[in-house]
Structure 1
């Protein structure tokens, strides 16, 4: 038996959130209680915790969305097994992460075959929810190491260190913290962050032009930005002639004064220290985007009525003379039907000009008069396109029916009776937390039909008003849902 073989179970959110808070204290600013750029270096973390011991398996626990987060991909690349759970659809918080860790640790220590490979479990989390699986491990004489940030370590886990010889509680120190984390300074440019870039972005234009000697301009820029003591990220904007750097200042908490933004604070200082030594000019991203989107290329309008491409024979194209003959034939037929008997119905163009068209009638009016059934006095009708719905993007009906928390803002389709239900719900629970929106009309009011505030009451007063939490439909209670009988048969 190799006692030095270990299993590692890492709660990513527990460590990452507390690590960001610890790093945010370095700014000593009320706007930043954490550093949003901080990331965990999983490879270094595994090396640090193992301390030259063999790692049997390392499992990283997290949640999604986003499902394609690069954090999980990087963990897989460095040998971690990634276990992801879906966030709660209503609150957006993590669910089942702690319980999954407890279940996996309990399964590990309860299987006698695993003792052949080692007897040490490492749990990287300070959450008190880990206590049940630690008790199971101690009862089977497994060694348990608990690693956590000092602020996230619960009192219950701290006391275990003194009570049992099999448990060892470790706290990440400041010097340890620097080894297992890094700052993600470069970000990926995409349109979803356009609003942040317009309000908090600065562009350093032409930092490196073609034909110039290459210098370490990015290192100098980083030193200037670090002196501001405000978290920032950067990306390189695409340009063929030069290198343009976009600096994005991170958003702080409680920023309310529009005149005291990072742009107003630090843009003049960047101009002073960077122009012309490191770049040609310093612009806000709003100014850069406005100038970059101007399109001044001339629009070609000549030869708009040229022959169609791919036509080989002249017979395939209706020439102007052929079109004129066709129109004359139709006009002749119309004239024969409208003229009295004994007349030919054919008049020359000169006679039409002299007899039928008064001199004060325009060419367009004369053309309109030649169209059967059209009156020159009838005004043109303005044809407008159908007004698009503001929020709806899909024709599929919403699966949450009457319990949709987005209501009229939902991107899926809803029936008219559901929209009326949302309007009534908004008037009742408009200023209340989201819990009241989800539970609106799901329970029977204790006052019943004698409720004096029925119009503004968030509870149902009969089963016809009650919303089912299982099928999300109106008209029955959750315990009487038809789906219950279907599930029992299965």
Structure 2
């Protein structure tokens, strides 16, 4: 009797899988199939499933780094300070510096990084940033620096001012929107951190809004163009905002002006840096 019951159970289970008629007795082949299905496959044969809540396989928090670069401010400021029209930098090295110095001082291995680049970017650097997975936001119109010498100084100034306002608006809106999404998803400040590269006071509203959402912000800027507003806000919102100076790390990412380089990480074949 037990044998008959067991056979019936095998048949019923088999029917659910193949959706065919009920055999009177299970065949040896059916038993073989069922034995194979019930065999436990070693878990080592499959990669671990992704963990929820931004945690890695060890259960540790995997931090998301959201980087927003006001590239016009970043690039043009050094150009004016050094009078070097063609200064270049290592994209991979810069990204590493920006994401490996979180506000709490705890370095994170392999953070989930999202980079957004706004404003003027030299044409030879755009594909390199894209190759790194960054989103390079397009301006509605070509930047005056792309057509140096083709416009009068007066016209160039007016056009540049309008384009930079476009950059400011886009960066502020999109960084605050990302903070709002993170808040809606219930992400803690240990799961996500923001990096804004600018010295421009106009980005201050974005920094304040992100902090108000409960997240930490790192502001990176060249010392010569850093607005005092960020230092004041850093004192008022201690533990939520940290100001970093790019000057203190320039040896790690600033390179010679447009010299040919050997292709490597963060560069493209045949490009100049």
User: Normalized against structure 1, the TM-score is what?
Assistant: 0.33
Aligned structure 1 segments of 4 or more residues deviating by more than 6 angstroms: none
CA change 1:160–1:97 in 2 (3 A) is: same
- 1:101-140 equivalence runs, <5 A: 101-111=171-181, 112-113=184-185, 115=187, 118-140=191-213
Q: For residue 328 of structure 1, what is the aligned residue in structure 2?
A: none
1:3: Cα distance to partner? Answer: 6.6
1:169: Cα distance to partner? Answer: 0.9
1:137: Cα distance to partner? Answer: 1.1
Q: 2:87 aligns with which of 31, 38, 44?
A: 38
Q: For residue 127 of structure 2, what is the aligned residue in structure 1?
A: 73
State the secondary structure of the residue aligned to 1:43.
helix
State the secondary structure of the residue aligned to 1:145.
strand
State the secondary structure of the residue aligned to 1:57.
strand
State the secondary structure of the residue aligned to 1:103.
helix
Query: Which structure 2 residue ranges, 5 or more long, are not aligned?
Result: 1-52, 54-60, 101-106, 145-154, 261-273
Q: For residue 56 of structure 1, what is the aligned residue in structure 2?
A: 113
CA change 1:63–1:19 in 2 (3 A) is: closer
Deviations 1:376-435 (A, max 9, x none): xxxxxxxxxxxxxxxxxxxxxxxxxxxxxxxxxxxxxxxxxxxxxxxxxxxxxxxxxxxx
Q: Distance in 1 between matches of 2:203 and 2:253?
A: 23
Which structure shows the higher helix fraction?
A: 2
Q: Distance in 2 between matches of 1:114 and 1:21?
A: 43
Query: Which structure 1 residue ranges, 5 or more long, are not aligned?
Result: 25-33, 188-490
Q: For residue 56 of structure 2, what is the aligned residue in structure 1?
A: none
Q: 1:18 aligns with which of 56, 77, 83?
A: 77
Q: Distance in 1 between matches of 2:62 and 2:225?
A: 29
Q: 1:85 aligns with which of 120, 139, 144?
A: 139
How many pairs are equivalent?
A: 173
Work out whether 1:164 is the aligned partner of 2:237.
yes
CA change 1:110–1:135 in 2 (3 A) is: same
State the secondary structure of the residue aligned to 1:36.
coil
Q: Distance in 2 between matches of 1:104 and 1:122?
A: 13
Are the counterparts in 2 of residues 63 and 86 from structure 1 also a CA contact under 8 Å? no
- Give the alignment's Cα RMSD to 1 decimal: 2.4
Are the counterparts in 1 of residues 88 and 258 from structure 2 also a CA contact under 8 Å? no
Are the counterparts in 2 of residues 16 and 40 from structure 1 also a CA contact under 8 Å? no
User: Normalized against structure 2, the TM-score is what?
Assistant: 0.57
User: Which structure is higher in RCO with an 8 Å CA cutoff and minimum separation 6?
Assistant: 2
